[in-house]
A = this chain, B = another copy of it.
Amino acid sequence: MVPYLTTALTGPLLELEKRLLDAQPTIEHWFRQQWKEQAAPFYTSVDIRNAGFKLAPVDTNLFPGGFNNLNPAFMSLSIHAAMGAVEKICPDAQRLLLIPENHTRNTFYLQNVAVLAHILRQTGLIVRIGTLIPEITQPTTLELPAGGRLTLEPLIRKGDRIGLEGFDPCAVLLNNDLSAGVPEILKGIEQTIMPPLHAGWATRRKSRHFAAYQNVAIEFARLVGIDPWLIDPYFNHCGKIDFQARQGEDCLAEKVDEMLKKIRVKYDEYGIDQPPFVIVKADAGTYGMGIMTVKSPDDVRELNRKQRNKMAVVKEGLEVSEVLIQEGVYTFESINDAVAEPVVYMLDHFVVGGFYRVHTGRGADENLNSPGMHFVPLAFDETCLTPDRSANPDATPNRFYAYGVIARLAMLAASIELDESLNEAEAAAAA
């Protein structure tokens, strides 16, 4: 089953897909140059919105949690790419410690951990799973819904090394986004940590990512001769917001207003008659908490108590004081009348697969990754590697290729963003 676009593809996206397809040699050559300069993150997933007239990333996750949603038929792609990533980042490693999120009941997430551990084991690493959950004080085996088991073990710190009972790993892979800050037990350890600690939400900001993405998108758009807006959502940022105390609302309302106007100009230019909207979300954080769809500046002035509470905290009870204001990108892909949003998965700088988040209860202008969101994952039935020039620009393999290109642009932006934040951290440490 292949998802299809409900919009008739005669507008700018068809043009965009055609450009990407025609420019494939230029694009791949350009990416090769980027990877000579820039090291890709260990792994990345990118949420993409396909508005028919626009194709853009809206979230870039450096601790992807849906490997279980990928097509098992392409598992070998993940193994290959993981082999390459291990070779580059920790060629001497034989034993890898995987540290997942602190979930014990979210069986979908645990299934992701199991698949990830499987991929890493197939590269020849000895993988064991350590948990930050304080209640787990001895090895604890959880049954998985799809069969199989997962054993979580308590972390043990010895001097500058982290490990498990009887297990001294050469490297640590985080599948925990550190929303609650960097745990003491992980600070100052001598083993390689992937992604680095500053990739966690304690340090990372979406606004920094999209600033890096903007530069990438401008360069790429020049390369293939397109308007960068077609692949880049506008964004802005408000600091010092306090939703509960109703502080910072004016900043937010003004910037929302400004952005809606900018979007309207573009919509007019491209003859798009949908109403513009923006997404307001926590600048640090994930799991789609603290997110709202806004169509007018008044929307952010008239939040009721429930909405305020919802926006005020994200995962791990963290308070939201900085928000990202992001151009809303419609998702006009649907499957059997359900809205669908593609998520592309990468290991090292290789696209290894993806899936659609399919959601029946949501609109084309809503976030599909939010709490209580019971999306159905639908694995891509083709890789993003096999564009077919003899087919239409919007034929499935070509659309998947376009997704893979946009996702890699976001991943490149993430790697630039991580370098910048590392430099800042080092400058701060030296000062």
How many subunits of this chain does the assembly comprise? 2
A91–B25 CB distance below 8 A: no
Query: Which of A33, A92, A122 has the largest number of chain B CB atoms within 10 A?
Result: A122
B residues in contact with A93, CB < 8 Å: 29
Stretch at the interface among A218-226, A243-251, A380-388, A415-423: A380-388
A394 to chain B minimum Cβ distance, whole angstroms, is 19
Indicate the size class of the contact surface on chain A: 35 or more
Residue of B31, B74, B386 touching A122 (CB-CB under 8 A): B386
Within 8 A of B (CB), among A5-30: 24-29
B74–A25 CB distance below 8 A: no
Within 8 A of B (CB), among A233-255: none
B125–A79 CB distance below 8 A: no
Q: How far is the CA of A35 from the CA of B84 in the complex (A)?
A: 11
B124–A27 CB distance below 8 A: yes
Q: Does A164 reach chain B (CB closer than 8 Å)?
A: no
Q: Does A81 reach chain B (CB closer than 8 Å)?
A: yes
A122–B29 CB distance below 8 A: no
Q: Does A350 reach chain B (CB closer than 8 Å)?
A: yes
A91-B32, A123-B28 known; A81-B80 Cβ under 8 A? yes
A77–B75 CB distance below 8 A: no
Within 8 A of B (CB), among A370-394: 383, 385-387
Q: Does A94 reach chain B (CB closer than 8 Å)?
A: yes
Residue of B31, B74, B83 touching A76 (CB-CB under 8 A): B74
A389 to chain B minimum Cβ distance, whole angstroms, is 9
Q: How far is the CA of A125 from the CA of B29 in the complex (A)?
A: 8
B77–A80 CB distance below 8 A: yes
B residues in contact with A94, CB < 8 Å: 25-26, 29
Q: How far is the CA of A390 from the CA of B92 in the complex (A)?
A: 26
A33-B91, A81-B80 known; A25-B387 Cβ under 8 A? no
B residues in contact with A338, CB < 8 Å: none
Q: Does A36 reach chain B (CB closer than 8 Å)?
A: yes
Q: How far is the CA of A50 from the CA of B347 in the complex (A)?
A: 34
A124–B28 CB distance below 8 A: yes
Q: How far is the CA of A73 from the CA of B73 in the complex (A)?
A: 8
B77–A76 CB distance below 8 A: yes
B residues in contact with A32, CB < 8 Å: 86-87, 91-92, 124
Q: How far is the CA of A200 from the CA of B74 in the complex (A)?
A: 35
Q: How far is the CA of A24 from the CA of B350 in the complex (A)?
A: 24
A81-B80, A86-B32 known; A385-B122 Cβ under 8 A? yes
Give A28's nearest chain B residue, CB to CB. B124
A385–B29 CB distance below 8 A: no
A25–B124 CB distance below 8 A: yes
B79–A386 CB distance below 8 A: yes
Q: How far is the CA of A84 from the CA of B76 in the complex (A)?
A: 15
Within 8 A of B (CB), among A49-81: 73-77, 79-81
A91-B32, A94-B25, A94-B29 known; A385-B76 Cβ under 8 A? yes
A36-B91, A80-B81, A91-B32 known; A387-B122 Cβ under 8 A? yes
Give A23's nearest chain B residue, CB to CB. B124
A22 to chain B minimum Cβ distance, whole angstroms, is 12
Query: Which of A28, A76, A86, A122 has the largest number of chain B CB atoms within 10 A?
Result: A76
A73 to chain B minimum Cβ distance, whole angstroms, is 7
A350–B124 CB distance below 8 A: no
Give A30's nearest chain B residue, CB to CB. B124
Q: Does A126 reach chain B (CB closer than 8 Å)?
A: yes
User: Could you jot down 22 A-B contacts, CB within 8 Å?
Assistant: A25-B94, A25-B124, A25-B126, A26-B94, A27-B124, A28-B83, A28-B123, A29-B92, A29-B94, A32-B91, A32-B92, A32-B124, A33-B92, A35-B87, A76-B383, A77-B77, A79-B386, A80-B80, A80-B81, A80-B350, A80-B385, A83-B350
